[in-house]
Amino acid sequence: MNNSYKLHFSRFLTAVPGRVHVTAHSHHPWPNVSFDAQAQAWLDAAELIDGKWEKVFGTVLPAAQTHVAQHLHLPDPATICFAGNTHELFMRLISCIARKPMRVLTTDGEFHSFSRQLQRFEEAGLATAERIPVEPFATFSERFARAAARGGHELVYFSQCFFNSGYLVHDLAALVGAVRDAETFVVIDGYHGYMALHTDLSTIADRAFYLSGGYKYAMCGEGVGFMHCPPSQALRPVDTGWFAGFSALSEGSTQITYFGGGMRFMGATYDPTGLYRLNAVMDWLHEQKLTPARIHARVAALQDLFLDALTKLSLPALNVSQLIPGRGQPRGNFLTFRTPKAGELHASLKAHKVITDYREDRLRIGFGIYHDEADMAELVQKVAVALG
């Protein structure tokens, strides 16, 4: 691990001296290039005023579509749609499902953005759900594929990398291909996959929706949710904003028309600043020759350094025996420790300026390309003091 990228993140990393930030799975620091991009969005608004939307739709948004499509190996960037968050896009997608209650196949490990909404749908009698347990990890794909093959669902929804463990679904195409009914919407939650893992959707681009955004591993902040939309499914969302028919605005047509491609899922007016940041960060990554595969390899090496040092500490409160999946198993770009004291550990570490996060009984520690060996040494030292 020869290169350090800290200088490229200096605005974030020097904002709070002494802070060790290890929630790269939750909120990455942004590279410095995003600061100039945010300023450029303001300057464009000042210069162009209403005309800024011509630049956004004509230049900024197409560039962002291209960046996302390239990293996901999608054949057509036009299948990408953006919104302020992925929840907006998901709600527009399910507005295409006429059957009520809709029948949903999912897992017990989905993030709250989806799981909360699904539970509320169930309370309201708008959905019935079958949740396949993610654990045991070794048999998850087989069990989920078997349930998908039984059919009878309007929606099949699962994560590429599960937020509460880091467990990876390696063969996305196999799970997508197992879905029996051609009319079933298949949605992959890729929020812990995009820009964290090499992801190739080329063989399932015409079958599966893919949801992710810029808030986490793309390092460009809020307001950049996106969805890849198969070109032949869900062509007329019921939940639709005027941006989805922007080109027909001046025509005075009484028929509801839609953009082609993913743009049919556009909503209404929103802040495009995140798209500027996304483009700047993606251009910077390209200049640095940093692909998702290279980023993941670097993070995996940092994880090993930390786990080796943690083993030597022999701390009862935090140790490798609590790691899920176990050491040596494939995982995403964060470590998950299962312990009933997750909240207490989080608080103790925070008191020593070590920023982690937790969900229920799971403490999560994540690394990014802005970390290096020196950070691991500092982290281990602070962990020893906080938890020893």
Is residue 30's pLDDT more than 60?
yes
pLDDT at res. 288: 97
Bridge partners of residue 157, in order along the sequence:
187
Average pLDDT over residues 221-232: 97
CATH number for the region 6-30+291-387 comes to 3.90.1150.10
- For the beta carbon of residue 377, count every other beta carbon within 10 angstroms: 13
Q: In what order do the strands lie in the sheet with 362-366?
A: 323-324, 334-338, 362-366, 357-359
What is the percentage of the chain residues whose pLDDT exceeds 90?
Answer: 93
Per-residue confidence band for 180, with pLDDT thresholds at 50, 70 and 90: very high
Per-residue confidence band for 255, with pLDDT thresholds at 50, 70 and 90: confident
In the chain, where the domains are located: 6-30+291-387, 34-285
CA Rg, the chain, in Å?
22
* CATH number belonging to the domain at 34-285, selected among 2.10.210.10, 3.30.56.10, 3.40.640.10, 2.40.128.50: 3.40.640.10
Rounded Cα–Cα distance for residues 382 and 370 (Å)? 18
